[in-house]
Amino acid sequence: MPQLANPELHIHDADIERLFGPNGQLGSAVSSYRPRHAQIEMAKAIAQAIVGQTTLIAEAGTGTGKTFAYLAPALLWGGKVIVSTGTKNLQDQLFLRDIPAIRLALGAPVSVALLKGRANYLCHFHLERTQQNGRLTSREDVGYLRDISRFIKTTTSGDKAELSQVPETALIWNLVTSTKENCLGSECQYYQDCFVMKARKEAQKADVVVVNHHLFFADVALKDTGIAELLPSANTVIFDEAHQLPDTATLFFGETISTSQILELCRDVLAEGLSHARDGAEWAKIVMPVEKAARDLRLCFPPEQVKLSLPQIAPSSDFFPALETLKEHLSTLLETLEKQAERAETIELCRVRALELSDQLDSWGKEPPKASELAGQECVLWVEAYSSSLQLHRTPLSIAPIFNKQREGNSRAWIFTSATLAVKKDFSHYTAQMGLGEETAMSWPSPFDYAKQGILYIPTGMPEPRSPNYTDAVIDAALPVLIASGGRAFLLCTTLRAVKQSAERLREEFAARNLNFPLFVQGESGRTELLDKFRQAGNGILVGSQSFWEGIDVRGKALSLVVIDKLPFAPPDDPVLSARINAMERQGKNGFVHHQLPEAIINLKQGAGRLIRDETDRGVLMLCDPRILSKPYGARVWQSMPPFSRTRELAVVEEFFRSLKSGDDPA
């Protein structure tokens, strides 16, 4: 059983000083450890919040050593600790490296569990069913299934991350893992051996449980991850990479129905009906109209990707009658499932899924609603069309009241930490989003000497970002810098279209100039594979969009230049953003100043943070967007950036890279 925190125990500043000091336990347990003033001060503030069972919002610049600063006081205090991260990479780093190091330094007999979402664990039942029905479409999947069948006999965790020869993105995983909808629960013949249940039991017993934000909020919204049972006994909840929480929480506190879910249900109904109740109904005839109605709903919109709020869909559109047709056919399917459900547990599961989808569709009225409520909160209804599917979204305009409700109840410490939570040390945007109004917020600077380690370069003569030739202008300005740096660069774009266009231009220029820089482009391989190849190349150029702006750590000379094409403002036609801005303006606020600008600055700080990752890194951050100097709001952006040396002269940048190559310190 987890140890309970001792209410008599106090963590004194002297304890923290001893642990983190020059001759402290951390130094003897971790060979690369060096004391940092900001880390020690941050650890003291977190210790105070943990002992007082209060909330702390803690921004700490890159290199502060955030993970040790929160783990040490949490383990010193004891009790049950939940640590939630934004990425699986950090989740693994904490579990495999950071927590064992702190545990060793403290000599604390602390048990630790890593808990992932159910899609990460093999399911005995679904693997067996897939082996039997042989519905595999490719030879590759047949090989992967063989690997998985061997793996399940030797693994103790069932975690698919342990089976590296089957790619994480392989479609076969969908057939051999469970979802909340198709899990048989305690009725399953393999319940005692279930890897999901084993992982949750381990988490129940552990002192420290490492999860990720998706899992945490999926549980709050869906009650399907096992955290609901963990939370009541937790003394301390720590969110690392906490800047991601507003987006993650919005995703889970909303609702999404997709035509893909409906087509998947139809496939399963047909398979289970024919297997267990062949004589109960003409399954193909009942399923076919639902499939057609789902596809027809997608065809109400143009073939390209589209995002529209419900009021933007014309009342005369085919969408509304097509939605009613889908509801009617799904209702007929549900009637049949209700009659046949007792024939097999799997048919009963299909009935439950059909009922849930039917209820969700019914909340979408025949006419676009003027306002809608979700858990007492105003929300926006909008559609998103992909090449072969349509998603219907219901998204809350603010997650603050819903999240506050989750934090009520037992007294415990809540720690929110990231390198990017504030705009010029002002936390008001973040606290408003999360409903953390009057909670304590503190900031600690990075220990890096940015003025000596790097340069912020803003080129002259750039057109306005809206101009049609803007991406070409970015490449024209970046080419001499890429040549000076010898590659070793990230080109971070704000849109996928800019990624594609930039990659095409760079390929042409490299061929014309006979430049041998390996080019790695988002979408041409998985993120992990691209990063591994980039690191190995030593002189590569990686072109990516949002997924490469954060959570990536490339140290040393392999990354010496980060080029950012423009300030990362969210697209103004985004239905959720538009609705939020309208709501703010009804309250007398300025949507741009109070929402779009702080969001863009926080995102930009994340992108800029890729460049300098430790005390020995040197490099150039090139920001191509002229608005940072030409617009009144530019000063706010400028002042929120790391304090690099600054220049508009290409010659200064070229000299900086010459000094690096010759081995002289450019400082």
Q: What is the pLDDT of residues 458-496, one digit of tens each?
A: 999 999 999 999 999 999 999 999 999 999 999 999 999
Phi/psi at 272 (5° precision): -75, -35
pLDDT band at 217 (very low <50, low <70, confident <90, very high): confident
pLDDT band at 345 (very low <50, low <70, confident <90, very high): confident
Q: Over pLDDT 90: what percentage of the chain?
A: 56
- Quote the tokens at residue 100: 């064992």
pLDDT band at 3 (very low <50, low <70, confident <90, very high): very low
Q: Work out the average pLDDT over 584-590.
A: 89
- Quote the tokens at residue 639: 């002042």
Contact 277, 343 (CB under 8 A): yes
Q: Report the pLDDT value the prediction gives residue 78, as an integer from 0 to 100.
A: 86
Q: Report the pLDDT value the prediction gives residue 2, as an integer from 0 to 100.
A: 40
Task: Summarize pLDDT for 611-646 with one digit per residue, the tens.
Answer: 998 888 999 999 999 999 999 999 999 888 999 999
Q: Report the pLDDT value the prediction gives residue 623, as an integer from 0 to 100.
A: 97
Q: Work out the average pLDDT over 316-331.
A: 93
pLDDT band at 4 (very low <50, low <70, confident <90, very high): very low
CA–CA separation, 545 and 539 (whole Å): 20
Does residue 402 carry a pLDDT above 90?
Answer: no
74: nearest Cα among 52, 93, 97, 46: 46
Contact 442, 271 (CB under 8 A): no
Task: Summarize pLDDT for 411-426 with one digit per residue, the tens.
Answer: 899 999 999 999 988 9
Tally the residues of the chain: 667
179: nearest Cα among 116, 118, 127, 270: 118
Task: Summarize pLDDT for 562-583 with one digit per residue, the tens.
Answer: 999 999 998 878 898 988 898 8
Contact 619, 612 (CB under 8 A): yes
Q: Which fold has domain 254-396?
A: Fumarase C; Chain B, domain 1 (1.10.275)
Q: Which fold has domain 450-662?
A: Rossmann fold (3.40.50)
Contact 182, 268 (CB under 8 A): yes
Q: Tell me if 13-111+206-251+419-444 shares its fold with 254-396.
A: no
> Mean pLDDT, the chain, as a whole number?
88
The alpha carbon of 464 is separated from its chain's Cα centroid by a whole number of angstroms, namely: 31
Q: Where are the alpha helices (DSSP H) in 544-632?
A: 575-586, 591, 597-608, 627-630
CATH number for region 13-111+206-251+419-444: 3.40.50.300
SS3 192: helix
Scanning the structure block, which residue is given the tokens 């642990």?
A: 19
CA–CA separation, 563 and 502 (whole Å): 12
Does residue 102 carry a pLDDT above 60?
Answer: yes
CA–CA separation, 198 and 206 (whole Å): 12
- Quote the tokens at residue 177: 């893992």
Neighbours of 316 (CB within 10 A): 7
Q: Report the pLDDT value the prediction gives residue 329, as an integer from 0 to 100.
A: 96
Contact 325, 294 (CB under 8 A): no
pLDDT band at 185 (very low <50, low <70, confident <90, very high): confident
SS3 499: helix
Q: Where are the domains of the chain?
A: 13-111+206-251+419-444, 118-195, 254-396, 450-662
Rg (CA), the chain: 27
**19-23, 288-292, 471-475: lowest mean pLDDT where?**
19-23
**160-164, 451-455, 524-528: lowest mean pLDDT where?**
524-528
Task: Summarize pLDDT for 306-323 with one digit per residue, the tens.
Answer: 899 888 888 888 999 999
405: nearest Cα among 244, 249, 599: 249
Contacts of 137 by beta carbon, 8 Å cutoff, 6+ apart:
none
Amino acid identity of 233? S
Q: Work out the average pLDDT over 4-8.
A: 47
Does residue 198 carry a pLDDT above 70?
Answer: yes
CA–CA separation, 163 and 167 (whole Å): 8
Q: Over pLDDT 70: what percentage of the chain?
A: 94
pLDDT band at 31 (very low <50, low <70, confident <90, very high): confident
- Quote the tokens at residue 417: 């930490």
